[in-house]
Chain A
């Protein structure tokens, strides 16, 4: 993929703004790739899209799409939205209430003669599966899902070089959402342009995106494929933002003796070493952390195994809370050796039938999946690749 990110149709963004609100980060997206901007409300995701669409001029930064510079503060370049050929699906769609669905789409093609405009609008609305009767309705007479399809058609009718989707699924019900996911997947294969999706829904981001850009407080914290970010979050904040519940504190003790492995002392949140001071875990050593340094560490759900047999250190635990939710079970386990420490696991399939409140069981942490992070994050502009 990385070679395509340098390609002529790629998006390259670098923003460094402090006023009126902080907005910093650097990321790239190749043609045909779907990049999801994720983070909590107020993280700056929508502001980032507005900069890309030309609706907001950054204090300092550069935006390049398909080899064309849209914004470069050093050279004083800032193309207005009209000259950018960008498709933007607004969060609440921003359809013109006085125009029919077809006229809304035609509005993006005012450079064409009227007859051709209408024909193209029909073609785009057919493409997003809106019936010819629905195409003549005004937005108020369409469902949320249908309105969203009109908004997508209008964005595509612009023949964009970059497609931006701002929380497009937030206002539609679960049923329409599934259909729209399929539509988006189809669009990705049809269009050979970078696509950016803003969402606060991590599952949605993981389902749809090739890569994630994690944002918080106006800054890009980490960029990478979802599984990479989940396996190796750059710091504790990223781990929290991508919904990793099993995050703990520790002290890095240095190499264990075995080549490529090191020792991690498990420390409780209160600060001191756990009562059983020998809670040492042998985990992968990447040689980046100095011995004696306090660390945060995470283990993804996949790295918590049930049963005493297998690799990794076995820990005795008790089920403190088990919630059976439809097809899955969410359980909290407290360690027998230190009840202050609790692990959260998600179970599916037959094994969840055996879990009940107060049950004792053995768990192991897969040492290969334990990820250790320095306590103090590096400055956000250095994006980890």
Chain B
């Protein structure tokens, strides 16, 4: 069992979630509440990471952020910052790859809230911020919770983008999915077996728990 890879995956998933959650909630709510002519294009870009092969996405990230690209060169020259083959690069890849997993369920959750509840809240004297905290967020919470679990589990298991952007540097970019691949390549099927099983149990458990929690939250209404 490669515990180093495992803890790196957990760390990546937690940081991805922490960064993506506020963005996802704001973006999802904005998409749910506004209508404008170019909205379909923005929604298409949100879904793109879901339909694009991970290697394609990783490739574009690599060529646009790598040291050979204008942006990558500028970051390296000005700030001595490198965004490929390290944890920062892994995080950027993970953030982009997870956008649809957080934004879409959150958007659906906010869309499901009747618009007149926000109106009723404003007539009751609530500011927009109070309406968000006291009405919209509690009602959208089951959707937000499942978005969080999906993003977390998805980050644990992501492979293609991570490999393109990070390679397989132990302790730096070798996540559990890459470690499993490496074990299989070196014919260590027993090692791969244990890690794959752990990932399977963890993912299934997290998703099932979020479904149970959502169902309970919805039933309480």
Contact = CB atoms under 8 A, between A and B. Distances in A.
Interface of A: 53-55, 80-82, 84-88, 90, 92, 94-98, 107-108, 110-111, 138, 140, 154, 158
Interface in B86-126: 114, 116-117, 119-126
B125 A94 contact: no
Interface string B177-221: 000000000000000000000000000000000000000000011
Interface residues of B, number: 19
B130 A110 contact: yes
Contacts, number: 60
B126 A107 contact: yes
A65 to B, nearest CB: 14
Given A92-B116, A96-B117, A107 B124 contact: yes
B39 interface: no
B18 to A, nearest CB: 26
A107 B130 CA distance: 10
B120 A94 contact: yes
B138 A94 contact: no
23 contacts: A81-B119, A81-B123, A84-B123, A86-B123, A87-B123, A88-B120, A88-B123, A90-B116, A90-B119, A92-B116, A94-B119, A96-B117, A96-B139, A98-B138, A98-B220, A107-B126, A108-B124, A110-B124, A110-B125, A140-B221, A158-B123, A158-B124, A158-B125
Interface string B124-160: 1111001000110011000000000000000000000
A94 B114 contact: yes
Given A82-B125, A107-B126, A94 B134 contact: no
A81 B134 CA distance: 17
Interface centre among A85, A87, A94 (most CB of B within 10 A): A94
A110 B130 CA distance: 9
A97 B135 CA distance: 9
The interface residues of chain B, by DSSP majority, are classed as: helix
B130 A53 contact: no
Q: Which 5 pairs across A and B sit closest by C-beta, in order of nearness?
A: A94-B120, A108-B124, A81-B122, A94-B116, A97-B221
Contacts of A154: 124
A55 B123 CA distance: 8
Given A94-B117, A138-B220, A138-B221, A55 B139 contact: no
A36 to B, nearest CB: 20
Contacts of A138: 220-221
A110 to B, nearest CB: 7
Contacts of A84: 123
Contacts of A86: 123
A140 B138 CA distance: 16
Contact of B122 (A55, A96, A110): A55
A53 B125 contact: no
B88 to A, nearest CB: 39
A98 B127 contact: no
Contacts of B116: 90, 92, 94
Contacts of B221: 97-98, 138, 140
Contacts of B117: 94, 96
A4 B134 CA distance: 40
Contacts of A87: 123
Nearest to A94: B120
A107 B121 contact: yes
Nearest to B117: A94
Contacts of A82: 122, 125-127
A96 B120 CA distance: 9
Contacts of A94: 114, 116-117, 119-120
Nearest to A91: B116
Nearest to B130: A110
Nearest to B128: A82
A107 B119 CA distance: 13
Contacts of B127: 82
